[in-house]
Amino acid sequence: MTASINMMAQTGIADGVLIVNKEAGWTSHDVVAKVRGLLGGAKVGHAGTLDPAATGVLPLLIGRATRIAEYLVGWDKEYRAVLRLGESTDTQDATGTVLQRVETNGVGAKDLKNTVARFVGPQKQMPPMYSAVKVAGRALYKSARAGQTVERAERDIVIHELEVLAVDGRDITLRVVCSKGTYIRTLCADMGEALGIGGHLLSLERRRVGVMSIDQALTVEQIATQLAIGTLDHQLWTLDRVLDQLPLYTVNEQEASRVLHGAPITPAGWSGVAEPCTVRIKDGQGRLLAIGTYDPQAKGPIKVQKVLVDIGSLN
């Protein structure tokens, strides 16, 4: 960790989150490796994998920000997807082999509207065989490449919003706002099946992850340029900014010491929340110390989940 901190100090970059606009052809791991190299070997991770063919928002976690990944992956996401009707593929997207082609002339605007309405709200979705989901310890895509189909359980997802933006022949451009764990290519394949003609995901752009949007994102090339001219730190989201939707509890000096050692604290007289929740814990100087959980109904302590600073760094 000390070596990583020193490298980050040399590049002028602190702990935080960079919003990357991933380009087509890059894996999420490729982006992490490239930025890690640019930052001299600093600790880098990501929140929310994008398939190589997909583009758009990929939050990169730098330094201690890697400790908050679990709080970002649960955010809802917004996509712009193109559904190609009448063509089914083995991967449910354009990278796969076409299994069937069907004419789309019989599908009208009313059929499309009714189908879109059916896919809004809570629902079950079957993870695709070409995915990283593991069954019995083995990734599904490995079984798929071996020609095997594995029995797997459906998952609970929510499609918050589903809107048709454009229709160009058999290509339907969609705006999708959904919960974590949603496979947009499976959504497209399921919609095509519901219309009776099949379909697959032709292209995909992630427009937003939680509060982070495509308008705030940088390509890897832009990151390299801003790092070279010394302005990349201006694009870095602090951990406090990333987590500012969480309720805040401020501790005194004695409580801060307990928090930094992972000990629970009693929020005497605190009425900041009414339901069980995750909480930011800051000291009197406004420094984000940790993330905890609190259940006001149980009237127990705030339990520290993640300490985000080193004890020595506050001296």
As a whole number, the mean pLDDT across the chain is 89
pLDDT tens digits, one per residue of 183-205: 999 999 999 999 999 999 999 99
For residue 1, pLDDT over 50 is answered with no
Q: What pTM was estimated for this model as a whole?
A: 0.88
Integer Cα distance of 134 and 141 in angstroms: 9
3-state secondary structure at position 130: coil
What is the predicted pLDDT for the residue at 6? 43
Q: Which residue has the tokens 């400790």?
A: 67
SS3 40: coil
pLDDT in tens, 7-33: 444 445 678 999 999 999 999 999 999
Calpha distance 30→167 (Å, rounded): 33
* Cβ count near 139 (within 10 Å): 14
Task: Report pLDDT for 144.
Answer: 62
Q: CB neighbours (10 Å) of residue 89? A: 22
> How many angstroms separate the CA atoms of 35 and 45, rounded?
10
Residue 98: is its pLDDT beyond 70? yes
Nearest one of 116, 74, 63, 33 to 239, comparing CA atoms: 63
Give the confidence band of 314 by pLDDT, cuts at 50, 70, 90: low
Q: Is it the case that residue 207 has pLDDT exceeding 50? A: yes
Residues in CB range of 87: below 8 A, 6 or more apart = 98, 100, 101, 102, 170, 198, 199, 200
> Which pLDDT tens digit goes with each residue over 219-270?
999 999 999 999 999 999 999 999 999 999 999 999 999 999 999 999 877 7
Active site residue 76: no
* pLDDT category of residue 140 using cuts at 50, 70 and 90: low
Residue from 15, 51, 93, 283 carrying the catalytic annotation:
51
- Tell me, what's the pLDDT at 313? 61
| pLDDT surpassing 60 at residue 4 | no
**What structural domains and CATH numbers belong to the chain?**
2-74+211-240 (3.30.70), 82-198 (3.30.2350.10), 246-314 (2.30.130.10)
